[in-house]
Amino acid sequence: MAERNLDFDKVIDRRGTRSLKYDFAKRRGMPEDVLPLWVADMDFKTSSYIEDALIERAKHGIFGYSEVQTPYFEAIRAWMKKHHDWEVQEKWLVKTPGVVFALAMAVKAYTKPGDGVLIQSPVYYPFSGVIEDNGRKVVSNTLVLGEDNRYHIDFDDFEKKITEKKIKLFFLCSPHNPVGRVWTREELTKLGDICVKHHVIVVSDEIHQDFVFQRKHLVFANLKKEYEDISIVCTSPSKTFNLASLMMSNIFIPNRDLKHKFRKELDAAGTSQLGVMGLVACEAAYSKGEEWYQAMLSYVADNIAFTKRYVEKNLQGVRMAEHEGTYLVWLDFRGTGLSTEELERRMVYGAKLWLDSGKIFGESGSGFQRINVACPRSVLSEALDRIKKAIQE
Ligand SMILES: Cc1ncc(COP(=O)(O)O)c(C=O)c1O
């Protein structure tokens, strides 16, 4: 049967589906009727091949403990090879119920309470959450917004922070949420060489690896043999195929000792097998989802271009950071002259929009808003019109 879920213009009512994005505004302190473009899931139906695989499995009616067999790994292997030119080995794989969970396990496995863990703010806020909640300290090698409207890495500061704060663990976000960078080979190599030199373990969160628009995504561990030895690469079909609530991610740890330590933390946390639906969905996604993925990616790319044109033409004082990857667009409102509080008020109560306020990604995100453009174009257009009105108020 052919792929059926290719109409990305279709507005699908997600209310009343236990959706975090749509059903919890009031409980999270937002007006009931806000239009949500915050949390990173898509308003598109996933591939019909995944839908069908889940329905078929559900009809079996027995949901006992489950594990994967060779076809699961084969599907991942083929995807990583085709899309990222990366040869993964089955013995590297550890499955976890999500990438944030894996980040937390890495903190426990590779650092001690009180240690610093390095991040690059502004960055996906659970990075600092899992560090602080586990009694470690956040150290930021803060990204620098250049004249070219792209974020850059201050490599001197990166190395200085590592030596001064005795860093043993670094969380790389690649592609970077929220600033939309897809790191170049040169950038990744500079980072990697510094980490190798100072024996820093790199957790490379590559959950957005399939959303790259201008250049190829490079898997950190795949760049040099030495990097493979210090890497924990976090992947998942959850962003690519909109499966976040199925709670499955594939973590690759080529170094045996690092893998052993990681596994021990999983055991200590009491986790073993994942839910069968997530496993079924992952296998179907990577083995049958190509057509849907390509069509979705092209739609999202057009939404990004649409947003860029709109911002340039209609949103005075707002700049969109040069966008290379992810479906999360980073808008700089500082040129509007509005204070962070006033900007916030106008977005939520004026525009009736639920975006992610930039400051939750770190102090350097103040004055920015992150907008999720993985939605039908009509919804995106409505949201941008509302922003325009709200800043002209
Ligand atoms: C960089 C990054 N890592 C991890 C996650 C979430 O991963 P999970 O839902 O698998 O915990 C997100 C979701 O937005 C993300 O942007």
Q: How far apart are CA 242 and CA 297, in angstroms?
A: 12
Atom of ligand 1 nearest to the CA of 123: 1
**pLDDT number for residue 214:** 82
Please give the angle made by the CA atoms of 362, 377 and 48, to the nearest 5 degrees.
Answer: 95
Using the mean position of ligand 1's atoms as its centre, give its distance from the Cα of residue 246 in Å.
Answer: 13
Tens-place pLDDT, residues 59-76:
999 999 999 989 999 999
CB 53 within 8 A of CB 284: yes
Measured CA distances, 375 to 224, 227, 311 (Å): 37, 36, 17
Contacts of residue 285, defined as CB under 8 A and 6 or more positions apart, other chains included, come to 46, 47, 49, 50, 75, 237, 240, 241, 243
pLDDT beyond 90 at 216: yes
Stated as kind and residue range, the H or E segment containing 139 is strand 137-140
Stated pTM of the model: 0.97
Using the mean position of ligand 1's atoms as its centre, give its distance from the Cα of residue 275 in Å.
Answer: 18
**pLDDT number for residue 215:** 87
Give ligand 1 pocket residues (Cβ under 6 A): 40, 98-100, 124, 173, 177, 205, 207, 236, 238, 244, 249
Atom of ligand 1 nearest to the CA of 100: 11
Confidence grade of residue 109 (pLDDT, cut at 50, 70, 90): very high
Using the mean position of ligand 1's atoms as its centre, give its distance from the Cα of residue 100 in Å.
Answer: 6
Tens-place pLDDT, residues 128-164:
999 999 999 999 999 999 999 999 999 999 999 999 9
What 98-102 contacts at long range (C-beta under 8 Å, 24+ apart), as own/partner pairs, is: 98/236, 98/238, 98/247, 98/248, 98/249, 99/205, 99/207, 99/234, 99/236, 99/238, 99/249, 99/251, 100/126, 100/129, 100/130, 101/249, 101/271, 102/203, 102/232, 102/234, 102/249, 102/251
Task: Transcribe 350-388 into DSSP letters.
Answer: IS-EE-EEGGGG-GGGTTEEEEE--S-HHHHHHHHHHHH
CB 40 within 8 A of CB 328: yes
Tens-place pLDDT, residues 73-90:
999 999 999 999 999 999
What mean pLDDT is predicted for residues 25-54?
A: 96
Using the mean position of ligand 1's atoms as its centre, give its distance from the Cα of residue 235 in Å.
Answer: 9
> Buried b / exposed e across 126-138, counting CB within 10 Å, b at 16+?
bbbebbeebebeb
**pLDDT number for residue 166:** 98
Which residue's CA lies nearest to atom 7 of ligand 1?
Answer: 99
pLDDT beyond 90 at 1: no
